Structure formats: structure tokens, C-alpha cells
């Protein structure tokens, strides 16, 4: 799709999608421009130096890249209880390294951080985070722009 104008990219996506559906075939597309693949692919395979790093569905990649409040806390289990009880939210994910990815209250992050601190949990850091597919790939290979 490199070098095509936006209208041609949309038409190319339409042709490939119809071909895949009508013929019930898998189409392999190799691209360094991951954003151009959105809306076309159902699975991503991230390859670096000839080695498959990860295979992930388009839906799962979108989920990993969506905006969130990334919290590093002293006690993730206690912080999770606070999120559920005080903010009435279960829209979070506990990650390794004492991280919590929280998807609610993005317009009021201070509400979340205040609840955690008032609950007696050490808040080590908080930041609004989102990633592009390109920065997600960079995080897989350990490069700049970690997701």
C-alpha cells in the first residue's frame, strides 16, 4: 500500500477483504507501516530478525494500544480493591512489576490517584498512556517508544 493515496488504499483494502471472504483464503501482507493495516488484517505477526516475536489478534492489539491510566503502586491487590469499591470500576488490568492499567476516569486521573493514596496504598507513578501499533512493536523488540 506504500505510495497509494488514501482513496486507493481504501479501494485496495476493499478488494483484499472481498477476495478473502469470497475465496475463504488467508492473505499474508508484509508491511512496515502498521497503521495502514488497520481495518484490513485480523491477525498480526510481529517478526524481528527472522524470529516471530508474537502473534496477536487485531482486537487484542487494539486493546493493548488503547488509552489508559498506567499506575505503579506498592500493593496492586489493595489498589485493585480500592478501584472496585470506591470508583465502582472493574475496567482495569493488573500487570507485572506492580503496574495497573486502568481504563476509566481518563478525564479525571486525579480522582483515581487520590482514591489510591487515601486508601493507604503507595502510589509510585501515574501517567496517561496509549500506544500505536508501531510503538507496541518497538516495545517488543526493546527499542525506543516502548508501549
Give residue-wise pLDDT tens across range 45-59. 999 999 999 999 999
Q: Report how far apart, in Å, the C-alpha atoms of 35 and of each of 28, 32, 74, 105, 134 are.
A: 16, 9, 36, 27, 8
The answer to whether position 140 is within a domain reads: no
The answer to whether position 139 is within a domain reads: no
CA distance 127 to 50: 34
Note the pLDDT of residue 9: 83
Tell whether the model's pLDDT for residue 147 goes beyond 50.
no
CA distance 106 to 108: 5
Q: Let me know whether 15 and 34 are in one domain.
A: yes
CA distance 53 to 126: 28
Neighbouring residues of 105: CB distance < 8 A, sequence distance ≥ 6: 69, 87, 89, 111, 112
Note the pLDDT of residue 119: 95
Its domain, for residue 74, covers 66-129
φ and ψ at residue 124, rounded to 5 degrees: -90, -35
Note the pLDDT of residue 144: 53
Tell whether the model's pLDDT for residue 110 goes beyond 80.
yes
Q: What is the pTM assigned to this prediction?
A: 0.63
Average pLDDT over residues 116-138: 92
Q: Let me know whether 105 and 81 are in one domain.
A: yes
Q: Let me know whether 11 and 52 are in one domain.
A: yes
Range from 21-30, 58-67, 72-81 that averages highest in pLDDT:
72-81
The answer to whether position 143 is within a domain reads: no
Note the pLDDT of residue 107: 87
CA distance 111 to 52: 41
The answer to whether position 141 is within a domain reads: no
Q: Let me know whether 86 and 48 are in one domain.
A: no
Q: Let me know whether 46 and 84 are in one domain.
A: no
Amino acid at each position: 500500500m506504500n505510495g497509494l493515496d488514501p482513496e486507493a488504499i481504501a479501494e485496495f483494502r476493499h478488494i483484499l477483504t472481498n477476495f478473502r471472504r469470497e475465496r475463504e483464503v488467508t492473505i499474508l501482507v508484509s508491511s512496515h507501516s502498521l497503521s495502514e493495516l488497520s481495518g484490513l488484517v485480523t491477525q498480526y505477526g510481529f517478526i524481528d530478525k527472522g524470529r516471530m516475536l508474537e502473534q496477536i489478534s487485531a482486537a487484542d492489539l487494539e486493546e493493548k494500544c488503547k488509552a489508559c491510566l498506567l499506575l505503579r503502586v506498592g500493593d496492586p491487590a489493595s489498589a485493585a480493591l480500592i478501584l472496585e469499591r470506591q470508583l465502582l470500576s472493574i475496567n482495569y488490568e493488573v500487570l507485572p512489576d506492580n503496574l495497573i492499567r486502568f481504563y476509566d476516569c481518563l478525564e479525571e486521573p486525579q480522582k483515581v490517584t487520590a482514591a489510591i493514596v487515601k486508601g493507604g496504598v503507595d502510589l509510585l507513578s501515574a501517567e496517561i498512556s496509549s500506544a500505536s501499533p508501531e510503538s507496541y512493536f518497538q516495545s517488543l523488540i526493546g527499542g525506543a517508544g516502548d508501549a
